[in-house]
Structure 1
Amino acid sequence: MEYKMLELATDNFGEDNILGMGGFGCVYRGKLEGGVYVAVKRLAAGGNVDAVKEFQTEVELLSRIQHPNVITLLGYTIHAETRLLIYELMHNGSLESQLHGPSRGSALTWHVRMKIALDVARGLEYLHEHCHPPVIHRDLKSSNILLDSIFNAKLSDFGLAIVDGPQNKKNIKLSGTLGYVAPEYLLDGKLTDKSDVYAFGVVLLELLLGRRPLEKLEPAAQFQSIVTWAMPQLTDRTKVPNIVDPVIRNSMDPKHLYQVAAVAVLCVQPEPSYRPLITDILHSLVPLVPLEFGGTLGVGKTVDTIRPEG
């Protein structure tokens, strides 16, 4: 896409159009001719080799993969040292901003959260099982799960993704986000699709508990992971209802709550071979999500309706 066109679309990358900040730059809201809204990620790469590599990975991968639960790349631009990626605009921002931002998850009912979990599992299953060769996302987290106006979830930010060939698994630089990185990858550099499953388990815990993956302990200034905090309580049925996010507490069938808690516990097992495949996770979530939201749960009129925001 033409750089000038993107300058125009974003009011010359004006501050008012900033949607968020990333590792290597800003994301801006843009309006193209014809009234199409887009998100423009500007990577001020300069001489940063990692930024250039991530840009190339993102363009190469998203140019050849397409799925309803993977973000659509509309185009890209290289202008001097600046690199720009243009995506469809996701009106409800990231799962992180919905859960941990000012609204504290108030727009996310139990059924909406389960729908988001199912969407993410479908996106991951596509990467792991239907892409040839398979793709490991490697940076799955709530800020990389984007939500459209009716809370359909899409995976984004593929700059760290690895195409799962044996030649690509050697000498992989440790990357990812603390709190989501699987222990075997953190300690031994061992990366498999089960690393994504671990990160999915952390996201599921965020949806369930409304807590961040790492929380600061006062006054020691240390961080405690959601996994360490939650595991002893998730395996005790009497404690599970008490640690659920207050926003959704007592709003679901207890059987469904225990089932989701059990899935989360399996996903974050320290031993990768004990974690389920994403396909198995998908099969266990489908019956918990209403028909209207892409699952098979027939709850008729008790279903929460999702209304576009704004």
Structure 2
Amino acid sequence: MTSELVILVVVLISLQLHWGVDALGSASTVAVAYGTSTVCGISAGKKSQRIQCHRGDQVISILPQVSFEAISGGQSFFCGLRTGGFSLHCWETDAGFSNHSFQPKRIYYSTNFPLTDLAVGDAQVCAREISSGKAICWRGSNRVGSLFPSPDPALDFLTITSGSGFSCGILKNKTVRCWGNNGIGSKIQSQLGNLLMASLVAGESHVCGLTALDGVLVCKGNNNAGQLEVPSNSAHEYSDLALGTSFTCAIRQNNGVVSCWGEGANELNIEKNINVSVSFELITAGSDMLCGLKTNNLTIMCWSKANNNSPVVLPLGMIIPGPCVQDSCSHCGIYPNSAFLCDGSGNICKSCQRELPFAVPLPKSPNSSSNPGSSSPTKSINRLTMAFLIVGAIGALAGTCTILFCISNCLTSRSSCNTANNQEQNINQLSLIENSSARAFSLMELAVATNNFSSENKIGAGSFGVVYKGKLTDGTEVAIKRGETKNDEKTEDPQEKQNAFCSELTTVLRLNHKQLVGMVGYCQENDERLLVYEYMPNGSLHDHLHNKDGLLLNTWNIRIKIALDAARGIEYLHNYAVPPIIHRDIKSSNILLDGNFTAKVSDFGLSLMRQPETSTESAVGGTIGYIDPEYYVSKISTAKSDVYGLGVVLLELLTGKKAVFRDSGGGVPMTVAEYAVERIGRGELWNVVDKRVRGGEMKEVDAVEMVAYTAMHCVKLEGEERPNIGDIVENLEKAIALCSDELCDSV
């Protein structure tokens, strides 16, 4: 991977993590000034994204009442970064307040050098200059009265965070640099060494973050209260973080539930009082206080000793889950109801770290309407309810129209499908889709992006058609899947092409998961049908295993991580998509790798909404070598058919062999399942593993054997004898935990 690509990957990761990982002092839309138990948030649904705070039993208005993009809290003050990053204000919370408002102090102003990454420690304020990446710090002092230092201005940071008396940041090469007036920063930097990090957040005397290559959560610094002791069986489960003095909390990727460890968490009874059915968009912490933004209504819930360690919902109303921005959110899409939450001033980009597509549900309508001339809370609730109802109704109508459009097209005759009137109707219906990830492209735009679909831009083929690499006018690289046209040598039946287009479009538009390749848009013009996806720069798993030298996948750690990524994508399809989906073509060429070698499942042209097991298909779909033998005979698709395909992929990862291959003597073709399962069962695993992979240490042996054991069960002839996808994910998580320490990465 080139250095430029590494830098790009880190930038994307830092953007993904920036608005959901909050420490003692990191940028967010919720902040805690913990010395005075003051909690602040940036309001949603207002003309401006102004700040409101809560202390004791009072709601405090903050001046100036203008839009802010981020806030961060310290011991007895908090600071806010104005939208655009050109102005930085701070408010003291221990000096009292008059007229129910803290008094602002502006500590930075520049229209030429805007800031980002606001990071308030216990006494210091730091931020990062967008143009140069240098970190600048203000305030704070040590015992001899010197101000908190700024790091070397030549250092180019991707992100920064602040703790008690120290600050740390991730440089462009993904290593960590710390600075400050005490020794904790240098201790943390020494403990992290040359470990490459994708994110970093600070508590009072410790930091935690996700590693760059495989997203493992690691914590360094002081461990006097067990705050560094990440549960070993769940190191890959977390995304958003919040660190206090003696505790660490994280949001689980799969369900948004908060999990905590350390003595401070026990004292606050956080785990005991967290309802496992309540999910959070983000969390932030003070010294001995934790607050989170609830997914279901975007209100703030806090745990603190002042509240007798019981969770309390603060009366601050709805808080935005991220900054309102004018820029495109094409990478991860727009947060639901952004137009309302930002009051038309921009959009909120969705977090890329959440596994499930969370959305704010519609609040219940009040039983009685408020006085039109009143400014009471009831009136605000009615407005909010009406806004959500309208937005939700439009979204539901758009989704319904899309599905009905494709169902209608797939059932109508060939002649009606090709009429001009019907074509126009189809385009009009598709244009109703209110989802930025489903942009309607013109054929001309896509032709320009691919140099008129030149052979040089061809990168593969899927069940629906040929795939081309394209570059949009804004510089975004995409993968464009084009159905065959009437001018092609092999002309596809128009109805079959329409069916494939409908199948893939209606499937992908309902999906949102970081282990599934995301859709950017579509084009339906004349007889052309095109689907536009995010571009995966590292190609397919099949290419790396079979068409290249495989040196980029030369550790068991990365191979097992790829297997886990793919399994999580399939788990989403089987267990969380509504209705559940059977992919029907799981294979190594449909597992694509992004710039950071995160694996994503692709190609949904053969996917089906899960059908009753008595429903027989007219023809067998899939690819030779991956087709479930039980399905081949019965023509009945089940979730266990995908499990079989995943089992074959696991065997490919273990052996380096293709799904169907001839041995070195050029004999009769055999499947990798025939080749490997019997030998593994005889205890000959290490005779069949891919010799290109470095390995052999004890923990690697255990991890690889667990993967092999799982693969053997996945390819059982009888579907009922195969594990469920949830069991497979659990086994692979255990394997990656065994193989995630420095021993596995260094062999």
TM-score normalised to structure 1 length: 0.90
Task: Work out the CA distance in 1 between the residues paired with 2:605 and 2:456.
Answer: 26
Q: Could you tell me how far 1:150 is from its partner in structure 2? A: 1.0
- Higher relative strand content: 2
Instruction: Identify the residue that residue 461 of structure 2 maps to in structure 1.
Output: 21
Q: Could you tell me how far 1:174 is from its partner in structure 2? A: 0.7
Task: Work out the CA distance in 2 between the residues paired with 1:302 and 1:217.
Answer: 34
Match of 1:265 among 712, 715, 723: 712
Q: Could you tell me how far 1:52 is from its partner in structure 2? A: 2.2
Q: Could you tell me how far 1:219 is from its partner in structure 2? A: 7.3
Matched, 1:136 2:578: no
Instruction: Identify the residue that residue 270 of structure 2 maps to in structure 1.
Output: none
Task: Work out the CA distance in 2 between the residues paired with 1:259 and 1:220.
Answer: 31
Task: Work out the CA distance in 2 between the residues paired with 1:162 and 1:221.
Answer: 37
Instruction: Identify the residue that residue 285 of structure 1 maps to in structure 2.
Output: 732
Residues 266-275 or 220-229, more deviating? 220-229
- SS of structure 2 residue aligned to 1:85: strand
Instruction: Identify the residue that residue 745 of structure 2 maps to in structure 1.
Output: 304
Instruction: Identify the residue that residue 533 of structure 2 maps to in structure 1.
Output: 87
Match of 1:202 among 648, 653, 656: 648
Q: How does 1:113-132 map to 2 (within 5 A)?
A: 113-132=559-578
CA shift in 2, pair 1:220/1:119, >3 Å: closer
Q: How does 1:12-161 map to 2 (within 5 A)?
A: 12-23=452-463, 25-46=465-486, 47-48=492-493, 49-103=495-549, 105-108=550-553, 109-161=555-607
Task: State whether residues 582 and 610 of structure 2, in contact with CA within 8 Å, keep that contact through their aligned partners in structure 1.
Answer: yes
- SS of structure 2 residue aligned to 1:229: helix
Task: Work out the CA distance in 2 between the residues paired with 1:227 and 1:167.
Answer: 25
Instruction: Identify the residue that residue 188 of structure 1 maps to in structure 2.
Output: 634
Matched, 1:245 2:686: no
- Output one character per residue of 1:274-303: Cα deviation in whole Å (capped at 9) or x when no partner: 1000000111111222xxxxxx45744335
Task: State whether residues 541 and 589 of structure 2, in contact with CA within 8 Å, keep that contact through their aligned partners in structure 1.
Answer: yes
Task: Work out the CA distance in 1 between the residues paired with 2:668 and 2:496.
Answer: 29
Task: Work out the CA distance in 1 between the residues paired with 2:613 and 2:579.
Answer: 12
Task: Work out the CA distance in 2 between the residues paired with 1:128 and 1:22.
Answer: 22
TM-score normalised to structure 2 length: 0.38
Task: Work out the CA distance in 1 between the residues paired with 2:664 and 2:696.
Answer: 31
Task: Work out the CA distance in 1 between the residues paired with 2:507 and 2:718.
Answer: 29
CA shift in 2, pair 1:224/1:299, >3 Å: closer
4+ residue runs of structure 1 moved beyond 6 angstroms?
A: 218-221
Residues 209-218 or 228-237, more deviating? 209-218
Instruction: Identify the residue that residue 304 of structure 2 maps to in structure 1.
Output: none
Corresponding letter in the other structure for 1:277: N
- Output one character per residue of 1:69-108: Cα deviation in whole Å (capped at 9) or x when no partner: 01101111122222111000000001111111122x2111
- Higher relative helix content: 1
Corresponding letter in the other structure for 1:260: V
Corresponding letter in the other structure for 2:606: L
- Output one character per residue of 1:207-248: Cα deviation in whole Å (capped at 9) or x when no partner: 0000000013587774211111111101122x1111100111
Task: State whether residues 110 and 251 of structure 1, in contact with CA within 8 Å, keep that contact through their aligned partners in structure 2.
Answer: no
CA shift in 2, pair 1:215/1:4, >3 Å: same
Instruction: Identify the residue that residue 178 of structure 1 maps to in structure 2.
Output: 624
Task: State whether residues 462 and 603 of structure 2, in contact with CA within 8 Å, keep that contact through their aligned partners in structure 1.
Answer: no
Residues 152-161 or 243-252, more deviating? 243-252
- SS of structure 1 residue aligned to 2:507: helix
Q: Could you tell me how far 1:137 is from its partner in structure 2? A: 0.3
Task: State whether residues 67 and 123 of structure 1, in contact with CA within 8 Å, keep that contact through their aligned partners in structure 2.
Answer: yes
Task: State whether residues 204 and 264 of structure 1, in contact with CA within 8 Å, keep that contact through their aligned partners in structure 2.
Answer: yes
- SS of structure 2 residue aligned to 1:107: helix
Task: Work out the CA distance in 1 between the residues paired with 2:662 and 2:649.
Answer: 18
Task: Work out the CA distance in 2 between the residues paired with 1:211 and 1:106.
Answer: 15
- SS of structure 1 residue aligned to 2:704: helix
Task: Work out the CA distance in 2 between the residues paired with 1:300 and 1:217.
Answer: 36
Higher RCO, 1 vs 2 (CA within 8 Å, ≥6 residues apart): 1
- SS of structure 2 residue aligned to 1:33: coil
Q: Could you tell me how far 1:259 is from its partner in structure 2? A: 1.1
Across the aligned residues of Structure 1 and Structure 2, the Cα RMSD in angstroms comes to 2.0
Task: State whether residues 647 and 715 of structure 2, in contact with CA within 8 Å, keep that contact through their aligned partners in structure 1.
Answer: yes
Task: State whether residues 556 and 695 of structure 2, in contact with CA within 8 Å, keep that contact through their aligned partners in structure 1.
Answer: no
Q: Which has the larger radius of gyration?
A: 2
Residues 170-179 or 125-134, more deviating? 170-179
Task: State whether residues 20 and 27 of structure 1, in contact with CA within 8 Å, keep that contact through their aligned partners in structure 2.
Answer: yes
CA shift in 2, pair 1:190/1:24, >3 Å: closer
Instruction: Identify the residue that residue 145 of structure 2 maps to in structure 1.
Output: none
Corresponding letter in the other structure for 1:35: G
Task: Work out the CA distance in 2 between the residues paired with 1:115 and 1:149.
Answer: 15
Q: Could you tell me how far 1:304 is from its partner in structure 2? A: 3.5
Corresponding letter in the other structure for 1:270: L
Q: Could you tell me how far 1:27 is from its partner in structure 2? A: 1.1
Task: Work out the CA distance in 2 between the residues paired with 1:78 and 1:138.
Answer: 25
- SS of structure 1 residue aligned to 2:669: strand
Instruction: Identify the residue that residue 615 of structure 2 maps to in structure 1.
Output: 169
Corresponding letter in the other structure for 1:255: D
Matched, 1:7 2:451: no
CA shift in 2, pair 1:217/1:110, >3 Å: closer
Corresponding letter in the other structure for 2:691: P
Aligned residue pairs: how many?
Answer: 297
Task: Work out the CA distance in 1 between the residues paired with 2:529 and 2:458.
Answer: 16
CA shift in 2, pair 1:73/1:191, >3 Å: same
Q: Unpaired segments of 5 or more residues in structure 1?
A: 290-295, 306-310
Task: State whether residues 184 and 191 of structure 1, in contact with CA within 8 Å, keep that contact through their aligned partners in structure 2.
Answer: no
Task: State whether residues 464 and 501 of structure 2, in contact with CA within 8 Å, keep that contact through their aligned partners in structure 1.
Answer: no
Task: State whether residues 287 and 297 of structure 1, in contact with CA within 8 Å, keep that contact through their aligned partners in structure 2.
Answer: yes
Q: Could you tell me how far 1:171 is from its partner in structure 2? A: 3.0
- SS of structure 2 residue aligned to 1:44: coil
- SS of structure 2 residue aligned to 1:157: coil
